[in-house]
Amino acid sequence: MDKYLHVVAPDLPRPSDSGLLKDLFYLIRGLHNKGVHVLLHCFGEVNEQDLLPFCKEVHSYPKKSGHEGFSLKIPFAVASRSSEKLNIRLMNDHHPVLFVGFQTVFPLLDETTMEKRNVVVRVLRNEHKYFNDLVHLQTWGAQKLFCKAEAFRFKGMMKRLSKSNIPFATAIELETLPHTQVHVKHAFVAPFMPMPIQLQTEGTGNYCFFYGNLGEVENEYAALWLLNNVFAKLELPFVIAGDHPSEKLERAAHLRMHTCLVANPGEKELQDLIKKAQVNILPSFVSGGPSNNILQALALGRHVVTNTMGSKESEIQAYCHIAEHPAEFIKTISALFNKAMDSTEHEKRASLLNRNFNNEKGIQELLRMLY
């Protein structure tokens, strides 16, 4: 019998997105390869063709803005992604539903809406902790207060969801989620990645590289931090790539002769940029969850430099170079820029990634939970 699955996503995924949306990009491909008919629901404009061949249907819904998405108890990221049309489509059949990220769970807040059907929430980060971290990246003002309020509301929403016994397919330790108790329905499903792992060629690359969804506050902050604190002093070629860069970031990236920005790269272009870089530099200033960009850089690239917050998993840290302060980044990058990688190092990485981040195993676990 054919399997149909509703997938509710916070936004349309693109390959350069970090975290949740990158995970979704490869998750949908994996489901399609298993013969699952994916009915994708996402918020925002659908103008991207990458996923359409892997979906039976694609539906988009507008995000609510201003007072329309405001609620005293529900996070704006959730309330702004509520839609009566989505609810009607979900209620028109009894297919299982995969909610990707806590931003999409508005239909679950009414316990009667999803009665008598299989639902799973895909979890890649603790939203309460994520917004608390964003508070520290903001200067004092409306955005800082907004992040504080979102952190508080997400904590309350998690307490509410935990009482409903909804199963989570989580890529982070369940104990790190507030008010959530481990129970038999929860399962660990590692982040989905481009597979199989492709071994990089030997030799050296041509530049240093940072990438991510530049429309996200934390990625723009990291890119500007590198431009202003590292590559203002270190005159090595530095490329930034990602979706939705702001004018501020574009100006900063083209201010110096040795730095530049590639806006909105496609999947193949992004992977080529990772492969040709000598040093992939991916610091993080939020502890939102597993770093899919670092995993992809380890799979496709040469040297990877990050900070402690960028890669908390001890096994992953063993294959990265860790720096914390600008001077440490400068020293580490300078030492690596002319240092060749050898095949032995890549084989060790491939062994680790294939063992710990197996897409096939993750898809099978999700299908077990959903059907």
CATH of the domain at 108: 3.40.50.2000
> What's 241's DSSP letter?
E
Same domain, 229 and 304: yes
Q: Does residue 52 form part of some domain?
A: yes
Give the span between the Cα atoms of 208 and 230, in whole angstroms.
11
Same domain, 160 and 227: no
Query: In which domain, by residue range, is 154 found?
Result: 3-190+357-370
Q: Dump pLDDT digits (tens) for 119-175.
A: 999 988 888 888 999 998 887 788 899 999 999 999 888 888 877 778 899 887 766
Give the span between the Cα atoms of 153 and 78, in whole angstroms.
10
Give the span between the Cα atoms of 21 and 6, in whole angstroms.
16
Q: Dump pLDDT digits (tens) for 284-331.
A: 998 765 567 888 888 888 999 999 888 766 678 888 999 999 999 999
Same domain, 39 and 186: yes
Same domain, 33 and 179: yes
Q: Which of 220, 207, 283, 213 is nearest to 242 (CA)?
A: 213
Q: Are 120 and 170 in contact (CB under 8 A)?
A: no
> Torsion angle, CA of 16/148/82/66, rounded to 10 degrees?
-100
Q: Does residue 85 form part of some domain?
A: yes
Domain count, the chain: 2
Same domain, 117 and 245: no
Count of C-beta atoms within a 10 Å radius of residue 112: 6
Would you say residue 273 has pLDDT above 80? Answer: yes
> What's 63's DSSP letter?
P
pTM metric for this prediction: 0.84
Q: Which two tokens stand for residue 282?
A: 């991916």
Q: Which two tokens stand for residue 140?
A: 């004092």
